[in-house]
């Protein structure tokens, strides 16, 4: 039985070219991100998978090619690196650097807030990154906590730079016109939908992020969206007393609702508070080829350039390295425990019950809570019927085999509000208690 778990790893996974796909790390309207391993080198990567049909439907091909080409050329120590691009008949695969230090905001979860010097260090890395990308014509437009990751050394890594804005379009006036992003982090001119400057909007989001790092809470927060927008339009916020005077002044200049008088990034970099202890990043130049991007987007659609997805219909077997990568700081003790206080986008539990039984039980418990259930192999999509703060809550569920007769069940918010997902998880686990394995119980 033990050999099945280890030797079955290859046969139970989807393989794309030289990459073996693992669990889903995140998903959105246009893309899904999966953990993957380069079979030739053993290197862990993340693969962003775009649906070709959706891309064509939204007339995004030329824009995506431009964005991907630019992103491939960006070599900044605080931006997640793009390795290569591939395509199958139906999908585009963007192979990215895999970062396993967790989200920056997990750092404030335990203490409530960061010391000013620590917050400044991350803010310096963020501003330097944003400035570098802007100088190359790449704007993020959706800077928020889940896009700010840390590597194993604790350095900031910004993800989705240039890729988060794929559905957006720049019109003839040179301005962006699509409202996007997480409302609390979005600049007033973006919400206003009259066109906005991507650089100024990114800086506003950076200001909100700095505030949250130092305060431990959001500057603009309200459960009513209209009231929240009013607060953002007026820049109605108060800095807590522990902020230094110079930090307060800088944040107020960044969170200026008037785009004409709002401070520019070049001025932020010259600010005395910002400059304290500033260490410019070290760059390593590298030869970068765009041949793979050209091949993926070539008009001829040469089938010789296409990769093929091969898959098996059984639960994915998760190897030890991948299992460890799901756990913050290699602390396996907390791997399967839910953290009640933290509102996260994903959570997981372990079970000794057969995979089919786990799936059936989740369906049995989710249906009375008002969720529509769609099943495919050992994955489920739970779609809420009620409209919440950010539309319908949607939850992706997947069962992984981590050892003989031990499964890990991951529930991940794929749409809707994170707080509503947290409440849903607390409700559903009440009905799943009899299938959940507790740490310390014997494994048969």
* 275: region left, alpha or beta (phi > 0 left; psi from -120 to 50 alpha): alpha
DSSP state, residue 329: G
Angle between helices 198-215 and 116-135 (to 10 degrees): 170
Measured CA to CA, the distance from residue 204 to residue 255 in angstroms comes to 6
Q: Is 48 annotated as a binding residue?
A: yes
Q: Decide: helix, strand or coil at residue 96.
A: strand
CB 296 within 8 A of CB 85: yes
Closest Cα partner for 91 from 31, 19, 38?
31
- Choose, from 51, 117, 118, 142, the residue flagged as catalytic: 142
Residue 424 token pair: 């849903």
Measured CA to CA, the distance from residue 293 to residue 281 in angstroms comes to 28
CB 332 within 8 A of CB 23: no
H-only helix segments in 13-115: 52-57, 61-73, 106-111
Specify whether 142 is catalytic. yes
Angstrom distances, CA of residue 361 to CA of 106, 412, 414, 437: 31, 17, 21, 14
CB 250 within 8 A of CB 273: yes
Measured CA to CA, the distance from residue 343 to residue 339 in angstroms comes to 8
Q: How remote is the C-alpha of 287 from its chain's centroid?
A: 28
Residues annotated as part of the active site: 142
Q: Which residues are annotated as a binding site for ATP?
A: 48
Q: Which residues are annotated as a binding site?
A: 48
């Amino acid at each position: 039985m033990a050999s099945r778990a280890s030797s079955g790893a290859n046969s139970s996974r989807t393989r794309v070219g030289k990459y073996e796909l693992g669990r889903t790390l995140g998903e959105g309207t246009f893309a899904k991100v999966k953990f993957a391993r380069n079979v030739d080198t053993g290197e862990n990567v993340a693969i962003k998978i775009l649906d070709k049909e959706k891309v064509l439907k939204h007339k995004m091909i030329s824009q995506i090619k431009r964005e991907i080409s630019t992103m491939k050329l960006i070599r900044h120590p605080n931006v997640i690196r793009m390795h290569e691009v591939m395509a199958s008949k139906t999908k585009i695969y963007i192979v990215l650097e895999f970062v396993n230090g967790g989200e920056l905001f997990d750092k404030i979860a335990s203490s409530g807030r960061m010391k000013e010097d620590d917050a400044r260090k991350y803010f310096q890395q963020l501003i330097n990154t944003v400035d570098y990308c802007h100088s190359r014509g790449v704007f993020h437009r959706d800077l928020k906590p889940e896009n700010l990751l840390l590597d194993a050394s604790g350095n900031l890594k910004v993800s989705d730079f240039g890729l988060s804005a794929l559905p957006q379009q720049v019109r003839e006036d040179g301005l962006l016109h699509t409202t996007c992003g997480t409302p609390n982090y979005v600049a007033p001119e973006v919400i206003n939908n009259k066109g906005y400057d991507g650089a100024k909007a990114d800086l506003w989001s950076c200001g909100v992020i700095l505030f949250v790092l130092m305060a431990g809470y959001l500057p603009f927060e309200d459960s009513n969206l209209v009231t929240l927008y009013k607060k953002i339009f007026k820049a109605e916020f108060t800095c807590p007393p522990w902020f230094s005077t110079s930090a307060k002044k800088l944040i107020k200049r960044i969170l200026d609702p008037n785009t004409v008088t709002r401070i520019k990034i070049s001025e932020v970099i010259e600010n005395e508070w910002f400059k304290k202890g500033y260490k410019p990043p070290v760059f390593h130049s590298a030869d970068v080829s765009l041949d793979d991007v050209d091949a993926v987007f070539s008009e001829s659609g040469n089938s010789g350039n296409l990769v093929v997805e091969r898959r098996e219909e059984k639960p994915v077997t998760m190897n030890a390295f991948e299992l460890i990568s799901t756990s913050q700081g290699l602390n396996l003790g907390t791997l399967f425990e839910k953290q009640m206080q933290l509102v996260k986008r994903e959570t997981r539990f372990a079970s000794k019950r057969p995979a089919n039984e786990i799936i059936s039980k989740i369906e049995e418990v989710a249906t009375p809570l008002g969720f529509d259930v769609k099943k495919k192999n050992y994955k489920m999509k739970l779609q809420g019927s009620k409209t919440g703060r950010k539309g319908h809550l949607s939850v992706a569920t997947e069962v992984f085999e981590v050892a003989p007769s031990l499964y890990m069940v991951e529930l991940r918010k794929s749409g809707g509000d994170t707080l509503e997902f947290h409440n849903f998880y607390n409700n559903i686990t009440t009905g799943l208690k009899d299938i959940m394995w507790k740490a310390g119980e014997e494994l048969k």
